[in-house]
Amino acid sequence: MRIPPRRILLTGADGFVGRAIARELRARGHRVFGTTYLEEPGPDEGRVDLTREEEPAKLPEGPFDAVIHNAGLVRQDMPRLAYFAVNTEGTRRILEWERAHGIPHHIQISSIGVYGLRAMGEDRREDRTPRQRWFGVAYQRSKAAAERVIERSGVPYTLLRLPMIVGPGDTMVAPVLGRALLDGTFFRSGSGDSEVSVICVANLPDILEAVIAKGPTCDAYNCSDHSMRWSELVGAYAAALGVGVPRRRRSIAWIPLKMADKGFLYLATNARFGAHFPNEKLRRTFGWSPRVDWRDAVRASAEGVRGERG
């Protein structure tokens, strides 16, 4: 879907997802002002630290047709309170700014992590999978709390819950799965037939245009574009990297002893339980279908891992 040019405020424009969104939306003629934190701001960008109460005052007056709130703390090795400072309180601050400036649509780049431990498994649909409150890691709890803040804010919104993201420069799937295949440390757990869902980063701009065109729905959506068996995803990465799939197996009985090893948990839980988030509600509501195939995104992602290894 192509829509007339809009004025968009994008937070977190300097991360993996934010860079991809900003680049493509600008190429399509949209006027995008991006906030950065880790990198120096470029043209039409400004550095904003949403953990500080006064920082949103740095944002331009607009007007903006929509705010895409993508800024967030994703790394799994940070202090617990840091996730709430960035993901929850940062969301509250941007919403207060939006309310003061009459922003008509808040689009939240959320996460399937809001389901907490229930994110492990298959057929995790939005309307049948409760959002967690008390259990789960700090990242998951902070993203769930952010959604509750949005729902109470009075700002019209749409919540997009992203699963694992694939594409060039991805910061989770390729670094863990790709490197495990290259290092020979990959292991199997269970049958490997559990279903998992992904979102190709290159498909996000199309989804966002469809969401902007529709307007706020004040609802949440599993923002996946393809689902496949875990063994299929592993096989596609192995083929793209030109390596075989190790046959070594590990039991999930190791999980309680490996809670600090995020790579182990990623491999074990996806293989054994799956992470499947059907997207029928997203497709039906926004009339959207994916343009980029997941296998192409895997190949592009694998190129980056190969490049790191020379």
Instruction: Residue 85: give the domain boundaries.
Output: 7-167+198-226+275-290
How far, in Å, CA of 9 to CA of 232, rounded?
37
**For position 25, which CATH number holds?**
3.40.50.720
pLDDT (0 to 100) of residue 146: 98
Within a domain: 221: yes
Residue-wise pLDDT for 207-232, tens only, equals 999 999 999 999 999 999 999 999 99
Does the structure show a pLDDT above 80 at 60? yes
How far, in Å, CA of 177 to CA of 180, rounded?
5
How far, in Å, CA of 275 to CA of 271, rounded?
9
pLDDT (0 to 100) of residue 1: 66
Mean pLDDT over all residues of the chain?
Answer: 92
- Residues ≥6 apart with Cβ < 8 Å to 52: none
Within a domain: 270: no
User: Looking at the 3D structure of the chain, how many domains does it have?
Assistant: 1
Within a domain: 90: yes
Does the structure show a pLDDT above 90 at 78? no
Q: Give the residue from 89, 29, 27, 5 showing the smallest Cα distance to 55.
A: 89
Within a domain: 51: yes
Does the structure show a pLDDT above 80 at 259? no
Within a domain: 187: no
Within a domain: 121: yes
Structural tokens at position 263: 């790579």
Neighbours of 260 (CB within 10 A): 9
Residue with tokens 């941007």: 94
Does the structure show a pLDDT above 70 at 258? no
Threshold 0.85, pTM exceeds: yes
Whether 114 and 165 have beta carbons less than 8 Å apart is answered as no
Within a domain: 218: yes
Within a domain: 162: yes
Q: What percent of the chain lies above the pLDDT cut of 70?
A: 95
Q: Concatenated DSSP letters for 48-92?
A: --TTSTTGGGGS-----SEEEE------TTS-HHHHIIIIIHHHH
